[in-house]
Chain A
Amino acid sequence: MCLGIPALVVGITDARNKLGLVDVCGVRRQVNLACVIDAGQTPESCIGDWVLVHVGFAMSRIDATEARLTLELLQQLGEAQAELEALRAGAVEH
């Protein structure tokens, strides 16, 4: 119950039934968008969104900002470590 894959919404195939087309690296499938259409919005508003797809349903919009923040945090971690190691190496020499 865990296999979810990020996909790009590229079209709406059946607005009344909230069905759209998503793309994963060129592989396309029709999915149900009911869980990611905001109240009062049209299905078309999803086009261009990245969503997490699980068993043919888009279950969540992917927050690109949060994704970037997560990666930045990890990047900083790596950089901090590298600095620390350089310091240590420097300290050893002296």
Chain B
Amino acid sequence: MSAANGLPEGASSGAPQHASNGAPQHASNGAAQHASSPLPQHASSPLPQHASNGAPQHASNGAAQHASSPLPQHASSGPLLDTSNGRPRDASHDTAPTITLAHGGGGRAMRSLIESIILPAFDNPLLAALEDQARLDLTALIALGDRLAFTTDSYVVTPLEFPGGDIGRLAVCGTVNDLAVSGALPLYLSCGFVLEEGLSIEELTRIARSMAAAARDAGVSIVTGDTKVVERGAADRLFINTAGIGVIPGSAQIGADRARPGDAVIVNGTLGEHGIAILIARNDLALSAEVRSDCQPLHGLIGAMRGACPEIHCLRDATRGGVATVLNEFALSSGVCIRVREAAIPLRPEVRGACEILGLDPLYLANEGKLVAIVPPQSADAVLAAMRAHPAGREAAIIGEVCRQPAQRVILSSAVGGDRVVDLLVGEQLPRIC
């Protein structure tokens, strides 16, 4: 797949060399061809998040063969033809090994794929047993807490690899974080791959290794999984489904309905980086900037926070729909008003710049390593200090507080002091010119 840079080469001064995804640079020879503006890829899609609405319905259980289906439309893919030269994607890997339908067939090719790529990457005794299920010791789990935390998620992001991460790392961190915000210790993950015929094995290997590294960083094991291969065109190269298990200690009583007037609202750092990093990586809008996804596991940070304050009231990671969505969820569940101050919201300059250019509100942008915590006022300073002492919380900030009225609303005090409501988003946020 050719990488269309944010700019043609030959800029006369100060132009960054922008390599997207390590794919070959697209040489622009300055001739009339691509002279006046960069080539957009995936130009038909709106602001990408983990777009799961409109995803194609395809049967993935049972047969590895996939009945031919019409070209699927789902929010995270553009046309499946690489628009730069009319050839199918991955054509630049023409001679490199790719996934074929046989890899999903249950036979020798599939076993070989699992043994050569997946097992070595994920590398743990539970998985290596290669049973149809992972067998987990119950006594050991019970010793850690009194509730099982259990979550599931699917990852369909495009492009597969982007500054700051890839779909694999996203899958591991996202699942870990969904568990961690309950106060749980995340332990075991499952991983189901749906691979599109034609996906390069090299790319799959990179992603599997990235998942393994993320799992190691997070202290979790990927203990069971599944692999399906579908025909070219039936999936956007690679989808990942995960489930995760963790154990919640009895002392953790965290819930969206526990916010109380007077509580402090805290985020662990700058917002919107994942959303902007993906937007730029897809190059539809021909922007370039040094923005990396903030994809990271948060349970270490949460542990430190709970150490400073065992009675954290609410905790959620701000993924799709951003901080605004989480705040609304808390306000609705708890029946309170949450007031935040625009001036207190931490943002990197590049994220601000991209939002200003495109008319986007950073409160609604996706994050993959940011949480919103609501804590009792007397603990706010201690929690903040504990967060700032932790690598995942260096730029933590108190951004607002919980009040009584107007109930179930989120109110923003703007940069100039006027108030406005922060409502739930309708549909995806689209860049605007007006």
Contacts and interface: CB of A to CB of B under 8 A. Distances in A.
Contact of A27 (B15, B38, B289): B289
A80 interface: no
Given A3-B433, A5-B357, A19-B36, A25 B11 contact: no
A63 B99 CA distance: 58
B434 A1 contact: yes
Main secondary structure of the interface of B (DSSP, over half): loop
B352 interface: yes
Interface stretch (B2-10, B157-165, B195-203, B229-237): B2-10
Contacts, number: 90
Interface string B400-434: 00000000000000000000000000000000111
B354 A13 contact: no
A26 B434 contact: no
Interface residues of B, number: 32
B352 A25 contact: yes
B106 interface: no
A11 B290 contact: no
A19 B16 CA distance: 16
Main secondary structure of the interface of A (DSSP, over half): strand
A13 B350 contact: no
B36 A28 contact: no
Contacts of B352: 25
Given A14-B30, A30-B7, A53-B357, A25 B350 contact: yes
A13 B10 CA distance: 7
B123 interface: no
A14 B286 contact: no
B12 interface: yes
B12 A11 contact: yes
Interface in B1-40: 6-8, 10-16, 30, 35-38
10 contacts: A1-B434, A3-B433, A11-B15, A25-B352, A28-B6, A28-B288, A29-B6, A29-B286, A29-B357, A30-B7
